[in-house]
Structure 1
Amino acid sequence: MSLAIVRWESFVPVLIYVLIFLWAGPLVATPGEARADEQLANLQSDAAYPVTKVLVLKSERRLLLLNGEFVQRSFEVELGRNPVGAKQHQGDGRTPEGDYIIDWRKRDSQYYRALHISYPSGRDVEKARSLGRPAGGMIMIHGQPSQYNVQYLKIDDDWTQGCIAVSNAAMDELWSVVADGTPIEIRP
Structure 2
Amino acid sequence: MTKEPPSKTHLHRQKILIILLMLISGSLFYLLLVRLGLMMPVGQITQVLCFQDCQPEPQLHTPLAKDELLNYDQPLEQLVTTANNNKKISLLIEKSRHRLTLYYDLKPLKSYPVVFGTNPVGDKQAEGDSKTPEGILQIKDLYPHPQWSKFLWLDYPNPRSWRKYFQAKASGKLPWHIPIGGEVGIHGVPVGRDNMISDRYNWTLGCPSLKNKDVDELYQWVQKGTVVEILP
TM-score, with structure 1 as normaliser: 0.70
1:42 equivalent in structure 2: 74
Preserved contact between residue 103 and residue 181 of structure 1 (Cα < 8 Å): yes
Would the alpha carbon gap of residues 183 and 153 (structure 1) be closer, same or farther in structure 2, given more than 3 Å must change? same
2:125 equivalent in structure 1: 88
Deviations 1:11-34 (A, max 9, x none): xxxxxxxxxxxxxxxxxxxxxxxx
1:154 equivalent in structure 2: 195
More deviation, 125-134/57-66: 125-134
Q: Aligned to 1:62, which of 79, 85, 99?
A: 99
Determine if the alignment matches structure 1 residue 163 to structure 2 residue 163: no
CA distance in 2, matches of 1:62, 1:71: 12
2:182 equivalent in structure 1: 137
SS in 2 for 1:170: helix
Give the RMSD, CA atoms, in angstroms.
Answer: 2.3
Deviations 1:76-108 (A, max 9, x none): 100111110000101101000011101101213
Preserved contact between residue 55 and residue 186 of structure 1 (Cα < 8 Å): yes
TM-score, with structure 2 as normaliser: 0.58
In the TM superposition, residue 112 of structure 1 has moved relative to its aligned partner by 1.4
SS in 2 for 1:177: coil
Stretches of structure 1 lacking an aligned partner (at least 5 in a row): 1-34
Q: Aligned to 2:159, which of 111, 114, 122?
A: 122
Structure with the larger strand share? 1
In the TM superposition, residue 45 of structure 1 has moved relative to its aligned partner by 6.4
CA distance in 1, matches of 2:127, 2:226: 24
Stretches of structure 2 lacking an aligned partner (at least 5 in a row): 1-67
Would the alpha carbon gap of residues 86 and 45 (structure 1) be closer, same or farther in structure 2, given more than 3 Å must change? same
1:173 equivalent in structure 2: 217
Deviations 1:166-188 (A, max 9, x none): 00110111011112211111011
- How many residues in Structure 1 have an aligned counterpart in Structure 2? 147
CA distance in 2, matches of 1:141, 1:127: 22
